[in-house]
Structure 1
Amino acid sequence: MVSPVAKQTCAISAVLINMLAQGMMLSYPSSLLPGIRAADSDIKVDLNTASWLGSVVGLAAIPGFLISSILMDWRGRKMAHAIIIIPGILGWLLIYLGASVTSLIIGRLFTGFTGGASVCLGAVVIGEYSSPKNRGTYLNLKTASVCFGGMMIHILGNFYHWRTVALLSLFPYIISLVIIFTWPESPAWLVSRKQFEKSKNAFYWLRGRSEEAEKELYELIKAQKDKPADINNSSFNEKVVQFLKKFTRKDFVKPVVIIMFSGLLLETCGRHILPAYALQIIVEVTRDNSQSFYYTLALDIIITISAIFFSVLVKICKRRTLLFVSGFSALFILFSVCTYLYLVSKAIISNNYTWIPISLFVLYFILANLGCTPIPLALLGEVLPLAHRGSGSAVAGLTMSLTFVVVLQITPYLLQSVKVYGTFTAFGSAMGLSLVALYFILPETKDRTLQEIEDYFNYGRFRNEEKLSNNEEDEKMKMII
């Protein structure tokens, strides 16, 4: 008999493979841009066009977030996840076959759409399909998958033409799509549609019938039983009014604000800057183009291993402890390496010790990948209440996409004008602001059920689980589940 953990892992592997594909998409400029800017390239681009090829995926992520949030509420998590993968497949084909900058941009738009659509949707799927004890590990393996995808692109880009790399990037999406069709529908989505019998069957398939699972199912159904079904035949104007009213509800506003600061932290800690501009950054720091690939590969390996290590560590330590200890430590290291590079640029100290900034950057990205990168992505699957997961994902996705676009759009100009030390000083300042804000507003979510977290945002505290200590309460539970 297949264990619930094995079933959860099999289902969630589709999300993790999809996130691996996202890492490949984000890091692809490190293969594409040097290739098309080479003297013998059949497609010519200037700096401005190159920056857009790197950052345009952020613009495409905006409709990706919005459409996936609609699909996840309308068609369910399973069908939504299958649908959003299709544009990614088409995008890589366009890039592989593209004969002009227009084709490349359209291809990047399609892959960016899938990448953006899968961020919140993948987190929601993991949150709803996994048990509280395993949820943190699965959510943080998303980050490890993205890191591994970036490393794969850097390796493939060193040995193959950028068109071949685009073709190879198709396969994770295809594998993910096949696995998705083996899923049951999300128990939480079925409950929101008042399909209690189907929800129970899906829940038991994923989670088994342990006492903890029974209690969680009871709390989930009890919380939704008296609410109206999440099916709405209202007019467009009425839906807009209902959406705007959400901004007056604390169980919507608080999680969205947390995700907004988390998104700012994610982008400014360098999570997407390094994969896209790794070679350029390494060359400037080491002043040696011949060894840049090996430095980049070593950094990729270390970052990926640290992300995997965090996925284990998160089962032991509290989320807040990991985030703030690693975050503020990473910030100190970042400002230290920026100071060192500034002093080198002014010839105050020698530039012969390139191992110093490289070592500091390695330490920084290890620390950043222990908290600043994985926890913001994990929060997408934890803090949004069931009634707001679609609309909340849309708002969160919009703000995160805009932040992503701005960061990747200005990065090449910052690297050219204020160099690596100035670029990371600016981003580090925004990173520090995000950490301070989250220190005051982020609750501890470790080992909490999604219903308990939802109750926190409604009541301002975690309520104790009900103790079903008498026969009357036992009978109520049996009637519900």
Structure 2
Amino acid sequence: MRREIHGADLASESSLLDKETQDSSATTTTTTLLFTTFVAVSGSFVFGSAIGYSSPVQSDLTNDLNLSVAEYSLFGSILTIGAMIGAAMSGRIADLIGRRATMGFSEMFCILGWLTIYLAKVAVWLDVGRFLVGYGMGVLSFVVPVYIAEISPKDLRGSFTTVHQLMICLGVSVTYLLGSFVGWRILALIGLVPCLVQMIGLFIIPESPRWLAKVGRWEAFETALQRLRGESANISYECSEIKDYTQRVSQLSEGSIVDLFQPQYAKSLIVGVGLMALQQFGGVNGIAFYASSIFASAGFSSKIGMIAMVVVQIPMTTLGVILMDKSGRRPLLLISAAGTFIGCFFVGLSFSLQGVKLLDGKTSYLALIGVLVYTGSFSLGMGGIPWVIMSEVFPIDIKGSAGSLVTVISWVGSWIISFAFNFLMNWSPSETFYGFATVCGATVIFVAKLVPETKGRTLEDIQSSIGM
């Protein structure tokens, strides 16, 4: 019996086929997409090398310029003060001049900062250089994950955005390793390399299609999206979805900081701010900035300990990238936060047991295990996923203001921990790490109760379901 195909059925089937064709093409990685992501995450490597710089050079730099503990703590933490200011301005800059130009703007400060550190002969110029690098890093910490989220297909967005954290990890790790063999001035010069790589690459890569749509540059929007998806890809469905959402949002006024506290944005704000605050107050930058002194205080070789951290960090961050769009955000966050709790507890316990004669000399291994468990667990999820979720949950009309606020909160927490860490360790190493463990335990509860799963959903779908 022959089935008649009516015009409406044919149109419906055609529409469905078009959507399926677009969906399949959206998951294809193109050379342009891969290269564009590489250029963007070169900025993440800059971020990592700046964080990692203060740990391996601590002894050399302190002796060379005769710095006190307070002066070195200022040098280590002033990076985060610059980052706070950069983060506060980053959203508005990125909305005004575009994501690509913002990355170039930030790199100019990073280059100037590294050169200032290299040439410094007194503490004040060290601090100036560190502050400038921090400012550029603060801008990068917002714009890189946002740019990657806006250019990536929905089924690859989590993995691609998490490459931001992988490159931070690589930057930290490479700096740790090189810092064991070269002086602090040479290490500052090496910090220029990824800055220059990104600056050159920015002349080649396309602008974010979603930003181009936001500012009404529709022809450039379609051209950029086609480049990213491939010349043969059918972008009609994705193009239509982005246009419809952008036009609907454009009817709203541009969101300010005050507008963020409206009821429709409450959940997005709680999730974004909460994850960033918990990430920082769990102690990550205390451990990253001063890893060598932690191992020394625990009675373990700082060089061996830092090499062990590198061996753990890179594969665990890579595993997180692989699992991001397979297992989802929430499961990785829960496992990661639980692991950081265990790691901090072990380190705290190792310091508590230092006076026990039967364990004399053995507690240093417990500290090593704790730091490695913490580092591996953090690299698996808590390092990268908060940045992924931050780039996903805010609508385009408030993304600049909200992203700046969330990133500032992150850097405020980072500054508090990085500046206070040496003083806390002098007060009580065990209580310091027990405090970090408490925050990590609270993170598990926060994720379980409040953080949504965003795997496999378009940005427009996520933002509509949460806030509008």
After TM superposition, the score normalised by the length of structure 2 is 0.89
Conserved in 1, the CA contact under 8 Å of 2:347 and 2:433?
Answer: no
Is 1:244 the counterpart of 2:263? The answer is: no
The residue type paired with residue 48 of structure 2 is G
Aligned counterparts, 1:218-237, within 5 A: 218-228=240-250
Structure 1 runs not aligned, ≥5 long? 233-238, 460-481
Is 1:294 the counterpart of 2:310? The answer is: no
SS of match in other structure, 1:445: coil
Conserved in 2, the CA contact under 8 Å of 1:265 and 1:372?
Answer: no
Using a 3 Å threshold, how does the CA distance of structure 1 residues 347 and 139 change in structure 2: closer, same or farther?
Answer: farther
Pairwise CA distance, 1:225: 2.1
Using a 3 Å threshold, how does the CA distance of structure 1 residues 92 and 231 change in structure 2: closer, same or farther?
Answer: farther
Give the structure 2 partner of residue 402 of structure 1. Answer: 412
Once the two structures are superposed, residues 173-205 of structure 1 have per-residue CA deviations (whole angstroms, 9 ceiling, x without a partner) of 000111111122211111111222221111111
SS of match in other structure, 1:133: coil
SS of match in other structure, 1:387: coil
Give the structure 1 partner of residue 423 of structure 2. Answer: 413
SS of match in other structure, 2:382: coil
Pairwise CA distance, 1:256: 2.5
Pairwise CA distance, 1:227: 4.2
Is 1:11 the counterpart of 2:33? The answer is: no
Conserved in 1, the CA contact under 8 Å of 2:209 and 2:221?
Answer: yes
Question: Quick one: distance in 2 between partners of 1:166 and 1:230?
Answer: 46
Pairwise CA distance, 1:226: 4.0
Q: Using the TM superposition, name which of 431-440 and 309-318 deviates more.
A: 431-440
The residue type paired with residue 164 of structure 2 is K
Give the structure 2 partner of residue 352 of structure 1. Answer: 362
Q: Using the TM superposition, name which of 358-367 and 162-171 deviates more.
A: 358-367
Pairwise CA distance, 1:5: 2.7
Q: Using the TM superposition, name which of 291-300 and 353-362 deviates more.
A: 353-362
Is 1:266 the counterpart of 2:279? The answer is: yes
- Which of 458, 464, 473 is the aligned partner of 2:467? 458
Aligned counterparts, 1:100-179, within 5 A: 100-179=122-201
Conserved in 2, the CA contact under 8 Å of 1:194 and 1:225?
Answer: no
Give the structure 2 partner of residue 52 of structure 1. Answer: 74
Using a 3 Å threshold, how does the CA distance of structure 1 residues 356 and 130 change in structure 2: closer, same or farther?
Answer: same
Conserved in 2, the CA contact under 8 Å of 1:185 and 1:202?
Answer: yes
Pairwise CA distance, 1:210: 7.8
Question: Quick one: distance in 2 between partners of 1:422 and 1:243?
Answer: 36
Pairwise CA distance, 1:71: 1.4
Give the structure 1 partner of residue 391 of structure 2. Answer: 381
Which 4+ runs in 1 deviate beyond 6 A? 209-212, 229-232
Give the structure 1 partner of residue 327 of structure 2. Answer: 317
Q: Using the TM superposition, name which of 132-141 and 329-338 deviates more.
A: 329-338
Pairwise CA distance, 1:292: 2.0
Conserved in 1, the CA contact under 8 Å of 2:346 and 2:366?
Answer: no
Is 1:278 the counterpart of 2:291? The answer is: yes
The residue type paired with residue 348 of structure 2 is C
Give the structure 2 partner of residue 72 of structure 1. Answer: 94
Question: Quick one: distance in 2 between partners of 1:301 and 1:92?
Answer: 27
Pairwise CA distance, 1:368: 2.1
Is 1:33 the counterpart of 2:66? The answer is: no
Question: Quick one: distance in 2 between partners of 1:428 and 1:62?
Answer: 25
Is 1:198 the counterpart of 2:220? The answer is: yes
Structure 2 runs not aligned, ≥5 long? 1-27
The residue type paired with residue 54 of structure 2 is P
Conserved in 2, the CA contact under 8 Å of 1:5 and 1:207?
Answer: yes
The residue type paired with residue 13 of structure 1 is F
SS of match in other structure, 1:182: coil
- Which of 339, 343, 346 is the aligned partner of 2:353? 343
Using a 3 Å threshold, how does the CA distance of structure 1 residues 205 and 229 change in structure 2: closer, same or farther?
Answer: farther
Conserved in 1, the CA contact under 8 Å of 2:89 and 2:139?
Answer: yes
Conserved in 2, the CA contact under 8 Å of 1:192 and 1:229?
Answer: no
Question: Quick one: distance in 2 between partners of 1:212 and 1:339?
Answer: 57
Give the structure 2 partner of residue 187 of structure 1. Answer: 209
Give the structure 2 partner of residue 82 of structure 1. Answer: 104
SS of match in other structure, 2:36: helix
Give the structure 1 partner of residue 5 of structure 2. Answer: none
Give the structure 1 partner of residue 7 of structure 2. Answer: none
Using a 3 Å threshold, how does the CA distance of structure 1 residues 229 and 175 change in structure 2: closer, same or farther?
Answer: farther
Pairwise CA distance, 1:131: 0.9
SS of match in other structure, 1:132: coil
Pairwise CA distance, 1:328: 1.8
